[in-house]
Chain A
Amino acid sequence: MRSYSHRSRYLALGTCALLVTGLTAACGGSSGKSSGSSAPILIGTSLSLTGDFSTDGQAFERGYKLWESDVNAAGGINGRKVKLIILNDNSSPTQVDTNYTDLITVKHVNLTFGPFSSLLTAPAAVVAHRYGFAFIEGAGGSPLVFSEKLPNVFDVALPVANELDPFVNWVKSLSAGQKPATAAYPMANDPFATPQVQLAQSELQSAGVSTVYSKIFPEETPDYLPNADLVAAKKPQAVILGSTNVPTVASFMHGFQQQHFNPKVFIAAAGPDQGQAFVSAVGGAGNANGMMVPNAWYPGYPNATSQKMVQEYVSKYGGSASGVNADVAEAYSVGEVTAQAVKATGGTVGSKIIAYLHSGVTLSSVEGPVTFNSLGENLKAAAFIFQWQNGKFVQVLPLGAQGSVPIIYPKPNWGG
């Protein structure tokens, strides 16, 4: 019957589709063999420009591009200009795998930068390792990544679990009358938020702060109100919120305001570090007053390169200095560390760069000094705690550290 021959025809069509696949995969995109002393250095990376991680992915993109233009304005590395190739992985690990394979085997990049999020860094690092590439990244700091024990991974950012250390130390240092007696630990079910809050909880508990609430809630729920109500009902003096984004913090803050509950101290794992986006989400600087958040960097960080980067960001992308996302600094640091490694080893050979970075050398970045241990963690990464004070985002902890201003404690009431 006719349908059979047509089916064969369509199977043939399928074969053609497969051939086209092979051809496009093999020949797609610009492939530049880059060797020789004046050819540009190609750096490939995959970022989450769409999908779940797109907010941070796009911030990272801006950071990488800012570094690229700065480096080229200064004459490039070893006299060679830098050309960045950024692919979109749509926050998908399958795509991340394909992207790095393509960058390395088709587009023949010389170097690779990491993607955004530990969840994508883990599979991507494996691909880079296979081809002997160093994998310098700024957003893959969860234990998952380091459990792979890959020698080529270098994370310039602070390991996730230690972010709240300065906060814990400060609470411990308070006198008995000052210290909060009770604390609540609501946490989003996320590898970024949960480890640090849980660590803080065990430390604070042994320091005499009793836990009145400690629960993990699903990360993606559009309505946090019931959980905020439950925390408010316990009236804890301290709230340590394991949040991963602005909406979570904003919802809890709204919930607390509705319940007319104001804790003496309120710190969130992420959200208040998003600058203006945070302030407008919570209804103004008055509400943001006193909110604390850990981070390894902030726009006011007293470092010459950092200040210059912030100014350039503002003139290129608009907004104000205080609105610059820490992701930008992390991405920029990745570029800086890479540049120093390439300069020191005289080229882009992966094995040499890896050996150099593992040699215990101290490098500089907009986030401060960088030294890697054998796992690729940045030993010199320091955590700071920041606080919103009357519309300004300032560093408050560690107490007395360079750049720290007096902390506002207890937290002012909402709106003031």
Chain B
Amino acid sequence: MGSQIAQAIAAGILGGGVYALMAAGLTLVFGVLDIINVAQGILVVLGAYLSYVLSVHLHIDLLLGLLITVPAMFVIGVVIYWLFIRPLRGAERTSMTLLACFAVALIIEGVLYREFGSNYVSLKASYISSSVHVLGFYLPDIYLIGFALAVVAIGALYLVLYRTTFGRTIRATMQNQTAARLIGIDVNRVAALTFGIGTAVTAIGGMVYGAISGGFTPNSGYDLISRLLAIVILAGMGSIGGALVAAVFMTTAEALVDIWQPDWSVAVFYLALVIILTIRPTGLFGRRAARAQ
């Protein structure tokens, strides 16, 4: 029993890293732009498909392929923002943005169906079924890689946000758009670039997702988006590091419940989510808003 629990916690922590990686882009966009990008699920799948194409048609290793998929997804993100989100204005802007993201998700899914059909495809690499032996446990290589990538990605986002001028510009825009405009910041450009960064990070998440999922189709995005949203809200608005904690909490809680009642593990997570959110509505690490949320 003890070793089962320890194994579950280990699996949970590593799995949490993978989810955090998928959610990092969502957290960034949510925190900075106050946009709930419901297309995040399909963007992860898109990243997985991009890695698939590079791997199968050009025989590029999955990790090396990131050098191509990350910039590609960055461009895609900027384009999506510029064409479909930037023009939205008015009092209903937040809700309309949500709907626009959903419409974009539908289109991306349709295009993926057109290109790849609905058969399951999967990513292949030597490190997908191998593991390292640590302290009496076998830890899967791909999860370790995923966790490491999550830490790197989140660390990089922190660096950008808090140590670069551009990051300062982003944070200024986040805190007060009007003031930012007044001092000459091109708010639209900043927003587009931020959205692009969010999508670029999602490319990495997509690759890891594709590797651990055992197979995916264009339809796989729907399963992901609700979990990613839950992680982001649980973490609290704008807390990127918090996304890692929230994700680890989610996967570890489920892995522990799996020991006894796997069919309830997902429900238990959502129940825990409800309880935590009623106690702390702004999430585990969310800043208290100036006025009531």
CB distance from B134 to the nearest CB of A (A): 12
By the criterion CB–CB under 8 Å, are A281 and B120 in contact?
Answer: yes
Which residue of chain B is the closest to A260 with respect to CB atoms?
Answer: B138
By the criterion CB–CB under 8 Å, are B214 and A247 in contact?
Answer: yes
Q: Which of A3-11, A135-143, A225-233, A338-346 contacts B (4 or more CB under 8 A)?
A: A225-233
- Total residues of chain A contacting the partner, CB 8 A: 45
By the criterion CB–CB under 8 Å, are B262 and A218 in contact?
Answer: yes
B175 within 8 A of partner (CB): no
Q: Which of A166-174, A250-258, A393-401 contacts B (4 or more CB under 8 A)?
A: A250-258
Q: Which of B113, B121, B140, B216 has the most CB of A within 10 A?
A: B140
How far is A257 from B143 in the complex, measured between Cα atoms in Å?
Answer: 14
By the criterion CB–CB under 8 Å, are B263 and A189 in contact?
Answer: yes
* B118: contacting residue among A54, A230, A233, A283, CB under 8 A: A54
How far is A255 from B289 in the complex, measured between Cα atoms in Å?
Answer: 43
Q: Which of A51, A226, A247 has the most CB of B within 10 A?
A: A226
How far is A99 from B25 in the complex, measured between Cα atoms in Å?
Answer: 40
A13 within 8 A of partner (CB): no
* A258: contacting residue among B3, B120, B140, CB under 8 A: B140
How far is A226 from B143 in the complex, measured between Cα atoms in Å?
Answer: 12
By the criterion CB–CB under 8 Å, are B255 and A251 in contact?
Answer: no
By the criterion CB–CB under 8 Å, are A280 and B3 in contact?
Answer: no
* A54: contacting residue among B121, B209, B219, B254, CB under 8 A: B219
Chain B positions within 8 Å of A50 at CB level: 113, 118, 219
CB distance from B262 to the nearest CB of A (A): 4
From 17 to 72 in chain A, residues with beta carbon under 8 angstroms from any chain B beta carbon are 49-52, 54-55, 57-58
- Total residues of chain B contacting the partner, CB 8 A: 47
B92 within 8 A of partner (CB): no
Number of A-B contacts (CB under 8 A): 133
| Chain A binding surface, main DSSP class | helix
* A247: contacting residue among B15, B118, B120, B251, CB under 8 A: B120
Chain B positions within 8 Å of A222 at CB level: 209, 212-213, 220, 223-224, 227
From 208 to 250 in chain A, residues with beta carbon under 8 angstroms from any chain B beta carbon are 215-218, 220-227, 229-230, 233, 245-250
A361 within 8 A of partner (CB): no
By the criterion CB–CB under 8 Å, are B214 and A250 in contact?
Answer: yes
How far is A220 from B11 in the complex, measured between Cα atoms in Å?
Answer: 18
18 chain-A/chain-B pairs, Cβ below 8 angstroms = A50-B219, A54-B113, A54-B217, A55-B118, A216-B263, A221-B266, A222-B223, A223-B18, A226-B258, A229-B7, A233-B4, A246-B214, A247-B122, A249-B214, A254-B212, A258-B141, A277-B215, A280-B124
Residues of B whose CB lies within 8 Å of any CB of A are 3-4, 7-8, 11-12, 15, 18, 113, 117-122, 124, 128-131, 138-141, 143, 209, 212-217, 219-220, 223-224, 227, 251, 254-255, 258-259, 261-263, 265-266
Given A247-B215, A257-B131, A260-B131; 20 other pairs, CB 8 A cutoff: A55-B119, A189-B263, A215-B261, A215-B263, A218-B266, A222-B212, A223-B212, A224-B214, A226-B12, A226-B254, A226-B255, A227-B258, A230-B258, A233-B4, A246-B215, A247-B122, A251-B212, A258-B131, A258-B138, A277-B121
